[in-house]
Amino acid sequence: MRRAHTVEQVREAEEALMRTLPEGVLMQRAATGLAHAVLDLLGGGYGRRVVLLVGAGNNGGDALHAGARLARRGVAVEAWLLADQVHDGGLAALRAAGGTVAEPHDVVADAETHGVVDLVVDGIVGIGGTPGLRPAAAAALEHLPGVPVVAVDTPSGIGVDTGELDGNHVTASLTVTFGTHKVGHLVDPAAAACGAIHLVDIGLDLPDPVVESLQPPDVRRLLPRPQGTDHKYTRGVVGVRAGSATYPGAATLCVAGAMAGPAGMVRCVGEVADAVRQAHPEVVGEGRVQAWVVGPGGGEGAAAELEAAADDGVPLVVDADALTHVTGPLPVPVVLTPHAGELAAMTGVARADVEARPLAHARAAAERFGAVVLLKGRHTLVAEPGRPVRVTTTGVPWLATAGAGDVLAGLIGSLLAAGLPAYDAASVGSWVHGAAATLASRGGPLTAGLVAETLPETLRHVLSGGMEESRE
């Protein structure tokens, strides 16, 4: 499990640890980890040139101490000081190791005459900084176009606790963070500015996280699997109320997602049920279920289907057309699966605001509707009141394709029917769906049907321990 904490949580943990250590040890741990990550990215030290962008905080100190280590490994290191006062110990260490320094008023002039720079280290502001960059920092970055950036702890200018962006910010190729992930590492749009994340363990003792991200061992632990005495009914039966004359394929794709999951049987009812059964002869009709999926392609009939499903007293997945008919808490456990536009319509806000502040809106919607809210996106969020928000980091851009959400809804319904609570069903389903898309895509286009076809193979990989932890 990847766990992300707030700035306050991290600072309290750092203060507690520093009380047990000699002065400066924590910064040295961070700087050592940072220097190793930079050398690894550079592929060696000698002949390389690195520019440090150094602000007034401890992140600037980390960058300077790391720069001293790089200089001792043969890297030509130059610090551009973006504040009148920077970390004295780090500055002295860099100079003693042979690094050079440009004062604030010389930075832009130096930038105009610099030679080839292999890499920039962003030590402008720390985790306590606010979104946006000061003019001096923005100007320095403008004079280093196209140079890869390694961010210290977080890219300067992002919303560390919110995942939001407001104004100029650093876009990193690699972010080297310390002790734990921060919210902005996992939550978009800020997460997209972080590049790859490298976590350096500095020995922090941390409380429960506010955001977390499942990894393959977590998914393997949570996935329901049949026992020797199980039969199709005890494995769970999922019902699908989806499709219409206008969108018959949505029901077929939803059923495909449900069939690929751990439930033992899929039922399909509605006006296109016969067509679905022609495509999937294993699917049956009316009867008892342990979970319903409602809404994909439902059109005008979605309201009635939602009411019928809710009256059945079993958990629901509410998707697509049925979402517009959810106005408050429902009497059963519910997973709502909107994209940004659908959540905007449900809550009366602008889509652009949902896209700019997805974490805030997912949390607010979970409270408002008393449900698990799965907000789809590049990094899908799963929010439930009183629980850490789970972030899905599997998937590829090719997954943005028609029908993919129908497959996801069916898969989550299958997980619900097999016995997972709504929070786990939504987050496991989202993770597996993204992993299947990655496997199916192989770097190129894919269709929703191909994602559904790849789900069983993906589950086999997870259950056998054949998937490595995500590196994102």
Domain end marker among 164, 182, 213: 213
Low-confidence ranges of the chain (pLDDT < 50): 113, 470-472
CATH number of residue 226's parent domain: 3.40.1190.20
Domain end marker among 213, 243, 271: 213
Beta-bridge partners for 129:
none
pLDDT in tens, 424-470: 999 999 999 999 999 999 999 999 999 999 999 999 999 998 776 54
**Looking at the structure, do residues 173 and 258 belong to the same domain, yes or no?**
no
Residue 75 near residue 107, CB atoms below 8 Å: no
pLDDT reported for residue 249:
96
- Which residue, among 195, 29, 49, 32, has the nearest Cα to 120 in the 3D structure? 49
Residue by residue, what is the 3-state secondary structure of 202-230?
CCCCCCCCCEEECCHHHHHHHCCCCCCCC
**Does residue 132 form part of some domain?**
yes
Decide: helix, strand or coil at residue 237: strand
**Looking at the structure, do residues 209 and 220 belong to the same domain, yes or no?**
no
**Looking at the structure, do residues 96 and 131 belong to the same domain, yes or no?**
yes
Task: Decide: pTM greater than 0.75.
Answer: yes
**Looking at the structure, do residues 151 and 220 belong to the same domain, yes or no?**
no
Which residue range is the domain that position 329 belongs to?
A: 216-463
**Looking at the structure, do residues 22 and 104 belong to the same domain, yes or no?**
yes
**Looking at the structure, do residues 407 and 437 belong to the same domain, yes or no?**
yes
Cα 40–chain centre separation: 25
Q: Which amino acid is at 279?
A: A
pLDDT reported for residue 471:
42
- Which residue, among 439, 437, 361, 366, has the nearest Cα to 403 in the 3D structure? 437
How far is residue 67's CA from residue 83's CA, in Å, rounded to a whole number? 17
pLDDT reported for residue 472:
44
Give DSSP secondary structure letters for 355-414.
Answer: HHSHHHHHHHHHHHHTSEEEE-STT-EEE-TTSPEEE-----GGG-STTHHHHHHHHHHH
**Looking at the structure, do residues 285 and 309 belong to the same domain, yes or no?**
yes
pLDDT in tens, 329-340: 999 999 999 999
**Does residue 469 form part of some domain?**
no
For β-strands 389-391 and 381-383, DSSP reports them as: antiparallel
How far is residue 458's CA from residue 472's CA, in Å, rounded to a whole number? 19
**Does residue 472 form part of some domain?**
no
Residue 384 near residue 438, CB atoms below 8 Å: no
Domain end marker among 213, 244, 264: 213
Cα 73–chain centre separation: 35
Q: How many domains does the chain have?
A: 2
